[in-house]
Amino acid sequence: MSAVKDILDIIQETTMKRGAPIPLPIDVVTGWVKDLHIPKGGDTVLYTGQLYQIVPYINRYVRRIESVSTAELKLAKVAGKFLDISMFIGKPSQEEVERQHSIIRNIAKLLMKSGVRFGYLYEDDAYSGVLLHDLGLEDVFVNHARKIYHEFKKYNVKNVITIDPHTTNVLRKVYPEYIENFDLDVTSYIEILAEKEFNNVGSVSKNVVIHDSCIYARSENIIEQPRKLLSRIGITVFEPLRNKALTFCCGGPIEVLFPELSRKVAETRIKELRVIGKEIVVACPICYANLSRVAQKDIEIKDLSYYLTLGLVGEDNED
């Protein structure tokens, strides 16, 4: 178990000390807000859980892991205790970071356009701890979850708007298992938008193939909402062989431990999607990263918010 154990140790140590498996610079976490003038705190907040922001770092981490030996990993583990894990990983390009920022900005603008009033926690927009839960680091996870919950309470937050499937699920289904009297109302931005009426809906005449996120489709029953939203703006949604509740994983969740196997799963999925079409819509940063890793040049993968912004916001898309 040594390699797995090494990676677990690194993740555990870093999260305990620095609040996230890969501690992000504050401008990477909050930099997307720019001139959107989002108030701090409030009844309802947009919570990123840092997942979109962390993805460029995970990409680098995986590339590093793919190329290092176990001995180096051990060294990094020792180093991780004293230094910054980010030094082992290095910095992703500004372009990658900005790409993620533009997705979050698009989501925020969509919510504003739909009339939702919300705040943001800025430097307290912390990591949700979902990876700890998935890796079986239960004690560390529970402590972490309590801390995050306490932050929400400190700001008197009542409603949390999430923007990715993993954070949505861990907050809505997992936190309540561990936190007594958990009373936050957690809703994905996709669910919110699907319920809203929009004026001046633009028509985006495009054909896209939809890749359902496993978590949204199977654990959160977010299946029809993205389809409804896409078709409302004139997009024709094509269905792959395995879709909706029977969707096929992108391979992302094991990329941290077994990058090669993760890549194979992604290849299987891309092969199935590209038979249907070359433009693929995803609603999860992990799906985006892992499918992009193996997608051929003629394939375009875009976040759901990109299309929705084209049709609903009616201003220049930032992506």
Partner 1 sequence: MKTEELIKNIVKAQENIELQLGLERAVVNFSNAVAKVLDRFPDLVKLAEYVRIVKEKVLTDLDYYIDQTIKNVNATGAYAYFTNDRGSLLKIIDDIVGEERKLIIKAKSMVTEEIMLREYLSEKGHEVYETDLGELLIQIAEEKPMHTIAPAIHLTKERAAQLLRKLGLPVNREMKHEELVLHVRKFLREKFIKADIGISGANAIAADSGTVFLIHNEGNISNVVTLPPVHIVITGVEKIMPTFKDAIYQVMVQSAYAGLYPPTYVNIISGPSSTADIEYHRVYGAHGAKEVYVILFNGGRIDALNNPVLREQLYCIRCGRCQIACPIWGLCGNIWGGRVYGGPMGIGWTAIIEGIENAIPLSWFCLLCDACREVCPVKINIPRIVRFLRTKT
Cβ closer to partner 1: 3 or 79? 3
Smallest gap from residue 186 Cβ to partner 1 (A):
19
Smallest gap from residue 57 Cβ to partner 1 (A):
21
Q: What share of the chain is helix, strand, coil (3-state, %, to 5)?
A: 55, 10, 35
Cβ closer to partner 1: 112 or 276? 276
Cβ closer to partner 1: 104 or 135? 135
Q: For residues 119 and 223, what is the distance between their CA atoms, to the nearest angstrom?
A: 27
Q: For residues 109 and 305, what is the distance between their CA atoms, to the nearest angstrom?
A: 10
Smallest gap from residue 265 Cβ to partner 1 (A):
4
Smallest gap from residue 286 Cβ to partner 1 (A):
11
Across the chain, the runs of DSSP E, i.e. the strands, are: 44-47, 119-120, 159-162, 185-188, 207-210, 236-238, 279-282, 300-303
Q: For residues 241 and 175, what is the distance between their CA atoms, to the nearest angstrom?
A: 33
Interface contacts to partner 1, rule CB under 8 A:
1-5, 8, 133-138, 214-215, 218-219, 245-249, 251-254, 257-258, 260-261, 264-265, 268-269
Cβ closer to partner 1: 219 or 317? 219
Nearest Cα neighbor of 80 from 8, 2, 129, 1 is 8
Smallest gap from residue 6 Cβ to partner 1 (A):
11
Q: Are 129 and 144 in contact (CB under 8 A)?
A: yes
Cβ closer to partner 1: 3 or 204? 3
Q: For residues 307 and 4, what is the distance between their CA atoms, to the nearest angstrom?
A: 38
